[in-house]
Amino acid sequence: MVGEVAYATHVAVSATLLKQLLMLGERERVELAHALLDSVNDNDEMSDADRARLHAAIEQSISEIESGQTVPLDEALASLRAKRAARASR
């Protein structure tokens, strides 16, 4: 099945429509995907200010990752486990 894409047998759109959409160019499919996601993601009840703060925090995190300001996973997990154990022993 090299070069073929498998789809679920039950889709919300007809096979004909899906086939037509998949014939669009990559740019058009990306634009369509974004438009469809935007149509369902606007219902999150997040204010513009909250969304701006969220995006700023995400950008900050990306900057920290890119500059190497991270904690190795094993250290982070050990710290969390220690905190959980300390709470359990109270």
Structural domain boundaries in the chain = 48-88
Torsion of CA 36, 39, 51, 31, to 10 degrees: 30
Residue 27 is predicted with a pLDDT of 92
CA-nearest of 8, 13, 48 to 32 is 13
Residue type, 49: A
Residue 6 has pLDDT above 60, yes or no: no
Contact assessment for residue 54 and residue 46, using Cβ atoms and an 8 Å cutoff:
yes
pLDDT band at 58 (very low <50, low <70, confident <90, very high): very high
